[in-house]
Amino acid sequence: MGDKVNQFDEYRSKMNDRILSVDNKVVKRIFNIDTNAYTEGALPVRTKELLGLVASLVLRCDDCIKYHLLKCKENGVTEEELFEVLGIGTLVGGTIIMPHMRRAVEFWDDMNT
């Protein structure tokens, strides 16, 4: 895995630890649900990660996109499938998504290095 992937992971972990060190119930519970929402259910994990990816894409959150790209790869999503998600996201969300698509593909390639 490339450097960008490692830097992303380290910063995310470090700041999550810092945030969860504070005793705030609302914040802690949101983190907790977030872990549970993407587990196997009526829909498989893989589909849920694709849902998380397209939601992050249309809301244009680069870090959220990266997180779901990592999870998509772990769950065997192919490049062909990825581009179908990117296509739907860019269609629904508009060309304003394009710079995020560029960074998403760059991160995807970095994950595969």
Q: How far is the CB of 91 from a second copy (least distance, A)?
A: 5
**Dihedral angle sign, alpha carbons of residues 9, 75, 27, 61:** positive
Alpha-carbon distance 41 to 1, whole Å?
30
Alpha-carbon distance 21 to 1, whole Å?
29
- Other C-beta atoms within 10 Å of 72: how many? 21
Binding site for a second copy (CB under 8 A): 11-12, 15-16, 18-19, 22, 24-27, 29-30, 33-34, 36-38, 41-43, 47-48, 50-52, 54-64, 78-81, 83-99, 101-103, 105-106, 109
In the complex with a second copy, which residue's Cβ is closer, 74 or 99? Answer: 99
In the complex with a second copy, which residue's Cβ is closer, 74 or 81? Answer: 81
In the complex with a second copy, which residue's Cβ is closer, 74 or 78? Answer: 78
Q: How far is the CB of 4 from a second copy (least distance, A)?
A: 14
In the complex with a second copy, which residue's Cβ is closer, 22 or 113? Answer: 22
List the one residue out of 3, 30, 13 whose CA is nearest residue 67.
13
Q: How far is the CB of 113 from a second copy (least distance, A)?
A: 14
Q: How far is the CB of 1 from a second copy (least distance, A)?
A: 19
**Dihedral angle sign, alpha carbons of residues 17, 21, 27, 30:** positive
Residue 18 DSSP SS3: helix
